[in-house]
Amino acid sequence: MQALPSLGVPADQVLAEIAALRAGDLPTHGGRLFAYVYDPGESGVEELALAAHAMGAPVNGLDPTAFPSLLAMENAVVGAASALLGGGPDGVGSVVGNLTSGGTESLILAVKAARDAHPSTSPTLVTPSTAHPAFAKAASYLRVRPVVVPVSATTLRPSPMDIAAAVTDDTVLVACSAPSYAHGVVDPVPQIAAAALARGVRCHVDACFGGWTLPYLRRLGVPVPSFDFSVPGVTSVSVDLHKYGYCPKGVSVLLHRDESLRAPQYFAFADWPGYTMVNPTIASTRSGGPIAAAYATLRYLGDAGYLRLAAAAVSAVRSLASAISTVDGLRLMVEPESTVVVFTSSDPALDLFVLADELAARGWHTQPQLAYADLPRTIHLTVTAAVEPQVPGFRSDLAAAVAAARASGPVSVDAGLLEFAAALTPDQLTTETVAALASGLGFSLDASASSGSPLPERRADINTLVEAASIPVREALFGAFLSLLQRPTY
Ligand SMILES: Cc1ncc(COP(=O)(O)O)c(C=O)c1O
C-alpha cells in the first residue's frame, strides 16, 4: 500500500480502498463486538454525529477565542457532564472541566494537576489493582510512583482501610473506579474519598467507562452507590463521551470540584518569540470534530435518549448474565452492577480461551482477560444498547460454543514451551526472538498485507502462552510485537 502516489487517485477510488481495508476490521456495529466500540444501535445518531464532526473538524481548539463555536460547545457539553455527575445548579455549583481526547488523557491530566499541586520529591499515586492502566501510564509519564492496593478476589474491590494505609505525606492522588473496566464494579467511593480527605489528598473517580450510564441506571432502579461530586472528598471525575455517551471517538470530560483544583492542569508558555501558548489539555492543536460531534450527539439523544439506551443496555446485561449463569461450567465473576458481564470457567474441562475462539468463530467477539494475581482468567463483555436485540442469538451460539469447547477440550500447548514462557525475562525478548515466536504461532507479520488481522483466528494457545509469562514479559512481548507490526510500507 502506498499512501503518496506520484499522481493523485480519484476520490471514489480512495474511498473504495478504505472500504476494502475496513472490511478486515471487527464489526463496529450490530452488537456482536463486546469491547472497543459503543454502538447505540439506533439509526440517525452516528449519521448526525459524523455530519457535525465534519463541520467542526476544520476548526482549531488551540485558541477558543478565535473559534468561539468550540468554546460554546465545549462549555455546554462540560455543563451536561457536570450536572449528570453531581455538579451544576442542583449540585456542587463550582465544578469546572474540559474536554480531552479520551480517558487516558483525562487521567493523565488529573494526575498532573494533583502532582503539580502537591510538591514532593517522591510523589505517589494510590490506586486499586483494578484501576485502568492509564493511571500506570500517567505515573510513568509524570514520574509519580504507583502504589497499587490489591482487590478482594470475591468483591473485586479494594478495602478502604488498605487504601487509607497506603496514603502517605507523598501521596498526590488517590484514585478509584466507577465502575472498573475489567469487572464493571463500583469501588467504595465514599470511604475511599473520606480516607483521602482526612489526609488532605485529592481523590479522582475514574468514571470514564460507565460514568455516563450509572446515573441513568440509578433512575431505572438499579442500586448504584454514590460515586460522584455528591461524595465529600471527591476532587475530580472523568467520564468518556466516546464510550457510553455514544459519541464518535476522541472525546472525554475531565471535571474538577472547583477552579483552584483545575488551575495546575493548564500549561502556559510565553518565553519565546511566537504566540503565547495556553492549553488545558495535552494536545495543543485540537480538532473541533469530536467536540462538535459530542455536542450534536448529546443534543440529539437528550436525557430521554440516554435513559432509553441505558434501559436497553441493562436489559441486555440481565439476559446475558442469566444466559451465562445457566451454562454448566460457567460462573459469573460478580453479579453485574453496571454494563459489564464478566465470567469465568468453573470446570477445568471447559477452557475459557477455547470458548472465546468458538464464540469468535460464530461471530461473537469477546475479550478474554488473562489470570492475574489471585483472579482467574475471565471473559469480559462490554454491553451496549446495540446488544439487546442480539441476546437470543448469543444465547444459542453460547450453548453451541460451550459444547464445541468441551468437545475439543483444553488447548494443548507444549509443556516445554510453557516452561520457556514462564522462565523468560524481558531482556531475552529481542526483535528476532519475538518475530520467531510470532510466526511460530501463526501471526502474519507481512506489513504489506493490506487486510485482515495479523493474528490467527484461533488464539487459545497464544493466550495460554502469554498467561504463563510474567507480567514484565507480557508487557515486553506485546510492545515488541506491536513494534514489529508498525513498520512503514512503501
Ligand atoms: C475505566 C476506564 N478508564 C480509562 C480508560 C481509558 O480510556 P481511553 O481508552 O479512552 O483512553 C478506559 C478505557 O476503557 C476505562 O475503561
Q: Which atom in ligand 1 lies closest to the alpha carbon of residue 181?
A: 16
Question: Average pLDDT, stretch 456-470?
Answer: 95
List, as own/partner pairs, every contact residues 351-355 make where C-beta atoms lie below 8 angstroms and the sequence separation is at least 24, other chains included. 351/405, 351/409, 351/410, 351/411, 351/460, 352/377, 352/378, 352/379, 353/377, 353/411, 353/459, 353/460, 353/463, 353/464, 354/405, 354/408, 354/409, 354/410, 354/411, 354/460, 355/379, 355/401, 355/402, 355/405
450, pLDDT greater than 80? no
Q: How far is the CA of 208 from the centre of ligand 1 (A)?
A: 6
Q: Whose CA is closest to 46, among 28, 20, 27, 62? A: 28
Q: What is the mean pLDDT of the chain?
A: 97
Q: How far is the CA of 8 from the centre of ligand 1 (A)?
A: 38
For 240-281, how does the pLDDT look when each residue is reduced to its tens digit (9 = 90+)? 999 999 999 999 999 999 999 999 999 999 999 999 999 999
Please state which of the ranges 298-302, 365-369, 445-449, 470-474 shows the lowest mean pLDDT.
Answer: 445-449
Provide the grid cell at 312: 436497553
Question: Average pLDDT, stretch 218-243?
Answer: 98
Cβ-based neighbour number of residue 36 at 10 Å: 12
Cβ-based neighbour number of residue 396 at 10 Å: 11
What per-residue confidence (pLDDT) applies to 449?
Answer: 61
Q: How far is the CA of 237 from the centre of ligand 1 (A)?
A: 13
Q: How far is the CA of 103 from the centre of ligand 1 (A)?
A: 5
Query: What residues contact 119, with CB distance under 8 A and at least 6 apart?
Result: none
481: pLDDT confidence band, cut at 50, 70 and 90? very high
Q: Which atom in ligand 1 lies closest to the alpha carbon of residue 252?
A: 10
Q: How far is the CA of 180 from the centre of ligand 1 (A)?
A: 9
Q: Which atom in ligand 1 lies closest to the alpha carbon of residue 102?
A: 10
d(CA 129, CA 266): 29
Q: Is the dihedral of CA 301, 305, 309, 312 positive or negative?
A: negative
Supply the DSSP symbol for 385: G
Q: Which atom in ligand 1 lies closest to the alpha carbon of residue 249?
A: 10
Q: Which protein residue's CA is at the shortest distance from atom 6 of ligand 1? A: 103
For 46-101, how does the pLDDT look when each residue is reduced to its tens digit (9 = 90+)? 999 999 999 999 999 999 999 999 999 999 999 999 999 999 999 999 999 999 99
Residue of 127, 132, 342 best suited for mutating to test ligand 1, as the one with most atoms within 8 Å of CB:
132
For 321-361, how does the pLDDT look when each residue is reduced to its tens digit (9 = 90+)? 999 999 999 999 999 999 999 999 999 999 999 999 999 99
For 391-444, how does the pLDDT look when each residue is reduced to its tens digit (9 = 90+)? 999 999 999 999 999 999 999 999 999 999 999 999 999 989 899 888 888 888
Percent of the chain at pLDDT exceeding 70? 99
Q: Which atom in ligand 1 lies closest to the alpha carbon of residue 240?
A: 10
Q: How far is the CA of 217 from the centre of ligand 1 (A)?
A: 20
Please state which of the ranges 83-87, 213-217, 444-448 shows the lowest mean pLDDT.
Answer: 444-448
Q: How far is the CA of 95 from the centre of ligand 1 (A)?
A: 22
What per-residue confidence (pLDDT) applies to 452?
Answer: 84
252-273: buried (b, 16+ CB within 10 Å) or exposed (e) per residue?
A: bbbbbbeeebbebbeeeeeeee
Residue of 99, 104, 127 best suited for mutating to test ligand 1, as the one with most atoms within 8 Å of CB:
104
What per-residue confidence (pLDDT) applies to 441?
Answer: 87
Q: Which protein residue's CA is at the shortest distance from atom 8 of ligand 1? A: 103
Q: How far is the CA of 34 from the centre of ligand 1 (A)?
A: 15
133, pLDDT greater than 70? yes
List, as own/partner pairs, every contact residues 240-243 make where C-beta atoms lie below 8 angstroms and the sequence separation is at least 24, other chains included. 240/102, 240/103, 240/106, 240/208, 240/209, 240/211, 240/212, 241/77, 241/81, 241/99, 241/212, 241/294, 241/297, 241/298, 242/38, 242/102, 242/290, 243/38, 243/103, 243/208, 243/209, 243/210, 243/212
Query: Residues with beta carbon inside 6 Å of ligand 1?
Result: 102-104, 107, 132, 134, 177, 181, 206, 208-209, 240, 252
Q: Which protein residue's CA is at the shortest distance from atom 7 of ligand 1? A: 103
Q: Is-contact 108 141, C-beta < 8 A? A: yes
pTM above the 0.95 mark?
yes
Q: How far is the CA of 41 from the centre of ligand 1 (A)?
A: 21
Q: Which atom in ligand 1 lies closest to the alpha carbon of residue 103?
A: 7
What per-residue confidence (pLDDT) applies to 446?
Answer: 77
Q: Which protein residue's CA is at the shortest distance from atom 4 of ligand 1? A: 103
Q: How far is the CA of 172 from the centre of ligand 1 (A)?
A: 21
Q: How far is the CA of 209 from the centre of ligand 1 (A)?
A: 6
Question: Average pLDDT, stretch 201-205?
Answer: 99
Supply the DSSP symbol for 111: H
